[in-house]
Amino acid sequence: MAKIQEMTQLSPTMEEGTIVKWLKKEGDSVSPGDIIAEVETDKAVMEMEAFESGVLLKILHTEGAKLKVGQALAVIGKPGEDISSLLAGIPKNEPNQTKVETAHSKETQTSQPSVSVSTPPLPSSNKSETKQTSINSVTAVAAVTSGTSVSSVAEFIEANRGGLRVLASPLAKSIAIEHGVDLHTVIGTGPEGRITKKDVLNTLSQGSRSTQFASKGTTRADEVVTLNGMRKTIAKRLTESKQNLPHFYLNVDVNAKAMESFRSELLEFQKHLEPELQVKVSLNDIIVKAAAAALRLHPKVNASFQGDSILQFGRVDVGIAVSLDGGLLTPVIRGADGKSILEISKEVKELAKRARERKLKPEEFSNGTFTISNLGMYGISRFTAIINEPESGILAVGSVEDKPVVENGAVVAGRVLSLTLSCDHRVIDGAVGAEFLRTLKSLLEQPSLMAGVI
């Protein structure tokens, strides 16, 4: 008997999936465990398995179709089996198609040039005055496009400003109308602030044009981009986190000189290893190791709010935020507190590579206990991050910058790293978070201490 293959939930947060590629075609034999298609979820491109034995009798949706979890995807049955009644019983819900639309997809056909006018707000005591100003501006442009002389238009605008005159010479007004310059944006240098020809020309030379003619094609059209599954999930989960979790933030500056020296020593040490054992350790790898060690020492931070209780994790699984085209993922380093910096470095690079290729498995980017987000490579000094539920903390890492520091009572040139810890106040109190950061700061400023907590 033929059965329907549904869009299955391939990740814990998946609500819909997009068919990227069919790996089987109609008429192909399949059995449970065979990969029949590649599906893009909210996190990655994943493989969909068949759950029945038989022949792929019917593919119900083409590549690129977006289906809700549970929606009919294909029909599997015996060769030559009549599936007409089965197809008739499938709901006629069309999958959502991802489209990119522009707000100006249709052009208005007209014999007159298309004009776009930007008029700054004028002081007004009521709505009728504002409305009148808008009408006057549109009428003035209509006068320009219909062939009315520039001087007449200038007089028209002057007479219809509702008594709010702009002091400008006739020639300045003519040039402003001709080039679409709003005289409200021009600073006059003449007597009593009167706008002269020179003032308008200076504004034009500086590229300050508040009115653009659409026929010249200088304005980029609006574009509406449909959210993909990943962006929808990010929007939903981070909004919920920010609204539901009482965030508070703690910041600390770290003297990064010792950490940078430690990294240089690690890189030098690896030169004596076999090529396959060598890995380019980054400062972020050292931070991950130090944070994992600090989490082991401060289990109250490595915890999750559970409604009527708090779960303190026995494991230390650190998620690393990885930027992707169209979103981000947080691949997780399992048992990071028990791994060496070289092991962490190698694993981070491998997971990040596969994350960008959308090839991570759900267990590789879910169920972490703490997250680290690093924007230092973009030159960001410091920032605050939103907690990734159900975790209770996330560490935001900024760039290492040259700043004066005090050493042995003297101010010297230093290398300073800024760290910001976002905390869920239901789980982490201020003093608890501060103690965690103090430990982390000590481990980074004295990397040899990490040997005592590995």
Coil, strand or helix at 168: strand
216-243 per-residue burial string, b: 16 or more CB within 10 A, e: under 16 = eeeeeeeeeeeebbbebbbeeeeeebee
Whole-number pLDDT of residue 215: 47
pLDDT band at 439 (very low <50, low <70, confident <90, very high): very high
Whole-number pLDDT of residue 141: 42
pLDDT band at 139 (very low <50, low <70, confident <90, very high): very low
Whole-number pLDDT of residue 149: 47
pLDDT band at 92 (very low <50, low <70, confident <90, very high): low
User: How many CB atoms lie under 10 A from the CB of residue 317?
Assistant: 21
DSSP state of 414: E
Residue 338 has pLDDT above 50, yes or no: yes
Report yes or no on whether pTM surpasses 0.75. Answer: no
% of the chain surpassing 90 pLDDT: 39
Residue 148 has pLDDT above 90, yes or no: no
Whole-number pLDDT of residue 453: 61
Kindly state the tokens that stand for 172: 């300045």
Ramachandran angles phi, psi of 132, nearest 5°: -65, -40
**In sequence order, which ranges of 160-256 are alpha helices (DSSP H)?**
170-179, 197-205, 229-244
When mean pLDDT is compared across 162-171, 174-183, 207-216, 271-280, the lowest value belongs to: 207-216
Q: Given the structure tokens 């020809």, which residue do they identify?
A: 197
pLDDT band at 283 (very low <50, low <70, confident <90, very high): very high
Catalytic sites, residue numbers: 425
Whole-number pLDDT of residue 119: 40
Please check whether residue 370 is in contact with residue 301, taking contact to mean a CB–CB distance below 8 angstroms: yes
Report helix angle 150-159 to 127-145, nearest 10: 170
pLDDT digits (tens, 9 = 90+) for 7-46: 888 877 788 888 989 999 888 999 888 899 988 887 778 8
Whole-number pLDDT of residue 169: 82
Whole-number pLDDT of residue 442: 96
Q: Which residue has the higher pLDDT, 55 or 218?
A: 55
Once rounded to an integer, what is the mean pLDDT over residues 237-256? 95
pLDDT digits (tens, 9 = 90+) for 170-214: 788 888 888 888 887 788 888 778 888 888 888 888 764 444 444
Whole-number pLDDT of residue 324: 87
Top mean pLDDT of 43-57, 59-73, 141-155, 390-404 is at 390-404
Residue 99 has pLDDT above 80, yes or no: no
Residue 320: in which H helix or E strand, if any?
strand 318-320
